């Protein structure tokens, strides 16, 4: 089938209309969706009825779902975690700019999120294009960064705080572990060959061979540069909205502006490779 793809911003992001993900999609349609992901970095679908088993089946058409180390999956589906903020909670899950789990040796290639319950207002998610973040740097800065690696940690204070409610309510056997991984500051996308800035305020603590204090000035600049408004798009959720983003070339940030209301998403992450 021919996909109805409508970009939502100049930097990244497109909605795909007129498709029901709960029916059997042929290989050509799956390939077209994957190409849309590569072209737009994050793609959005509306009014999808996918229950957990069908959500998982759809995700498997694009890769291998992997379990999240800190929070237990939903009943019967360990690869699906509930991204929840209850009415009485003040901190939202993952509420900081980041690429998912860059503290792992092989971070996921992509993430899917489907809305089960949304607040009456607020709770949008921002996305940022890390190709643009790299490509708009000066030639001198590119030369400096191209040879650097960075240390990424799961224990960075702000990030740990954004998951503490779910770790407390749904812990795994590994919830108390701290994960560390070294990755290139600039990674090359394995499918497109484009370079992307691969540090984040959530997980990156220092450059390899430098102290945190020495690394802080340059990292601080990069953290601000990579989320410039012209690199971003914003998505407003409705029940049944499904989002699929390329974790290798984007960052995202769920906005925590709906205190007193409940928001529930189901998330699947797909296995990736070692950044290069």
* 77 belongs to the catalytic site: no
The pLDDT tens digits of the residues spanning 207-218 come to 999 999 999 999
Predicted confidence at residue 162, as pLDDT, reads: 82
Active site residue 158: no
At 177 the pLDDT is 84
Helix (H, G, I), strand (E, B) or coil at 50: coil
CA–centroid distance for 113 within its chain: 9
Separation between Cα atoms, residue 15 and residue 17, nearest integer Å? 6
- 5 pLDDT higher than 80: yes
Q: What pLDDT does 175 receive?
A: 77
Active site residue: 166, 203, 252, 263, which one?
252
Annotated catalytic residue within 34, 187, 263, 267: 267
The answer for residues whose C-beta is within 8 angstroms of residue 225's C-beta and 6 or more apart is 133, 136, 137
* Residue-range definition of the domain harbouring residue 182: 4-270
Q: Comparing C-alpha atoms, which of 176, 180, 202 is closest to residue 70?
A: 176
Identified catalytic residue from 34, 98, 183, 248: 98
Residue 42 lies in a domain: yes
Q: Pick the range with the lowest mean pLDDT from 62-66, 156-160, 202-206.
A: 156-160
Q: Is residue 276 part of a domain?
A: no
Task: Please report which confidence band the pLDDT of residue 226 belongs to, taking 50, 70 and 90 as the band edges.
Answer: very high
Q: Write out the two tokens for 37.
A: 């992901």
Whether 275 is in a domain gets the answer no
Residue 217 lies in a domain: yes
CA distance 25 to 28: 8
Q: How many CA atoms lie within 13 A of 256 on its CB side?
A: 15
How many domains is the chain partitioned into structurally? 1
CA distance 109 to 38: 11
Look at residue 75 and tell me if it is in a domain.
yes
**CATH code of 203's domain:** 3.60.130.10
Which candidate, 116, 87, 85, places its Cα nearest to that of 261? 87
Catalytic residue from among 34, 40, 100, 165: 100
The answer to whether 98 is a known catalytic residue is yes
Give the model's pLDDT for residue 169.
83
- Examine residue 103 and state whether it is found in any structural domain, yes or no: yes
**Cα→Cα distances 100→18, 19, 233, 272, Å:** 29, 27, 18, 11
Q: Is residue 30 in a domain?
A: yes
């Amino acid at each position: 089938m021919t996909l109805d793809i409508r970009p939502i911003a100049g930097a990244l992001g497109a909605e795909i209309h007129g498709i029901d993900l709960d029916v059997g999609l042929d290989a050509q349609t799956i390939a077209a969706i994957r190409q849309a992901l590569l072209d737009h970095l994050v793609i959005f679908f509306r009014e999808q009825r996918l229950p957990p088993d069908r959500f998982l089946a759809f995700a498997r058409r694009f890769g291998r779902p992997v379990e999240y180390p800190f929070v237990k999956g939903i009943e019967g589906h360990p690869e699906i975690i509930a991204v929840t903020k209850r009415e009485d909670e003040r901190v939202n899950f993952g509420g900081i700019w980041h690429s998912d789990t860059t503290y792992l040796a092989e971070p996921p290639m992509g993430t899917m999120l489907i809305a089960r319950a949304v607040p009456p207002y607020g709770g949008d998610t921002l996305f940022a294009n890390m190709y643009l973040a790299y490509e708009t740097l000066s030639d001198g800065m590119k030369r400096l960064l191209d040879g650097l690696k960075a240390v990424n940690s799961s224990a960075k204070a702000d990030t740990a705080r954004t998951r503490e409610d779910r770790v407390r309510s749904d812990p795994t056997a590994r919830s108390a572990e701290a994960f560390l991984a070294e990755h290139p500051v600039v990674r090359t996308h394995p499918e497109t060959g484009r370079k992307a800035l691969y540090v984040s305020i959530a997980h990156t603590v220092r450059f390899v061979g430098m102290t945190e204090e020495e690394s802080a000035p340059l990292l601080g600049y990069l953290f601000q540069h990579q989320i410039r408004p012209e690199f971003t798009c914003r998505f407003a959720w409705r029940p049944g909205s499904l989002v699929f983003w390329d974790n290798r070339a984007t960052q995202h940030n769920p906005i925590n502006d709906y205190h007193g209301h409940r928001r529930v998403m189901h998330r699947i992450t797909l296995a990736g490779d070692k950044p290069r």
